[in-house]
Amino acid sequence: MSGDSDCTKTSPSVGSPSDNEFLPDRPRYVCMLSPDLVAKAREELQEKPEWRLRDVQALRDMVCKDYPTLGTCLDDAFLLRFLRARKFDYDRALQLLVNYHTCRRSWPEVFTNLKPSAIKAVLESGFVTVLPHLDPEGRHIVCIRPDRWIPSHYPITENIRAIYLTLEKLIQSEETQVNGIVILADYKGVSLSKASHFGPFVAKKVIGILQDGFPIRIKAVNIINEPRIFKGIFAIIKPFLKEKIANRFFLHGSDLNSLHQNIPQMILPEEYGGTSGKLDISAWNELLLASEEDLLHDFSQLVLPGNSLPCETLVSGDADEKQCDESLRGMKPQLYYCY
């Protein structure tokens, strides 16, 4: 992702057949999708190749008109991420883009100095990794293992930084933009003291990012080995998840057969009853660390945390946000009850 985020440049009219010819300093978009994925994007995301650049230009014009100081990258490929994530609904794609920046600027503990080398300890712990094989739908499996985190070594925000960088790397792929991802979270060994670090502030921030602040399609969240305490957490958080997202959570407990109905054994490591060998975190760690220069170049197109940005709400309204605050405030007592 590269290019000028300056909205003062003259843009061609929406629907112009030669949009990019007027912007020689902005990389020309070249579709890397296979014919099958082009067809899938058309069917599932309402993406029409013949209108693609027109749609991108429409979103670009909306950014320049409504948020001229947003400080965002305006490249075709970057804006396409947001259009695909919101099925080419211009208004929803624009709100997602604004939310994306709002999230980055409102949580400096996570987004300041955000780069792979800064979260090397998290990667080496195995807290988050990506399995080497795609599922039958062409989706990456993001594996999260909270038991690998030792709170005395670094704060929970470092884990969130690692997950965010993982998503940033994955979403660079057009295939992932179309197919989405699957999350596999193993809560084996998560204690009450460790779970208490996931308090109201962190919970609401993470929900805001994953649900409304990042251009990725989360197609399923598979939870395994969850202790009783997790059911208490989920019961509190679920009302604030969109119904579509909430319905994509699958709690398997220790039943690996149940997990295998969602994720085939052939792509799972032995630790989860699979046949693809031992879980190896080294390949993903090396890939992410090797992507540092590329990711930093991407981030250089965005305004750093602390810069001005219109205040936007990531939930449906002030009443919902107040309700979320009040309900999450009761999380700790309920955690003790569930434990």
pTM above 0.95, yes or no: no
**Taking residues 257-277, what's their average pLDDT?**
97
- 53-84 confidence digits (pLDDT tens): 999 999 999 999 999 999 999 999 999 999 99
Q: What is the 8-class DSSP label of residue 13?
A: P
SS (H, E, C) 284-309: HHHHHHHCHHHHHHHHHCCCCCCCCC
Query: Band of the pLDDT at 12, cuts 50, 70, 90?
Result: very low
- Of residues 53 and 300, the one with the higher pLDDT is 53
Q: Which CATH class is domain 112-297?
A: alpha beta
Is the pLDDT assigned to residue 11 strictly greater than 50? no
* pLDDT exceeds cutoff 60 at 335: no
Q: Which long-range contacts (CB under 8 A, 24 or more apart) does 125-130 make?
A: 125/149, 125/150, 125/153, 126/279, 126/281, 127/159, 127/162, 128/159, 128/162, 128/163, 128/166, 129/279, 129/281, 129/284, 129/285, 130/166, 130/170, 130/284
Q: Which fold has domain 35-106?
A: Helicase, Ruva Protein; domain 3 (1.10.8)
Q: Would you place residue 9 in the very low, low, confident or very high pLDDT band (cuts 50, 70, 90)?
A: very low
Exposure string (b/e) for 165-194, b if CB count within 10 Å is 16 or more?
A: bbbbbbbbebbbbbbbbbbbbbbeebeeeb
> Where do the domains of the chain lie?
35-106, 112-297
Task: Judge whether 149 and 194 are in contact, CB under 8 Å.
Answer: yes
Question: 287: which residues sit within 8 A by CB, 6+ positions away?
Answer: 169
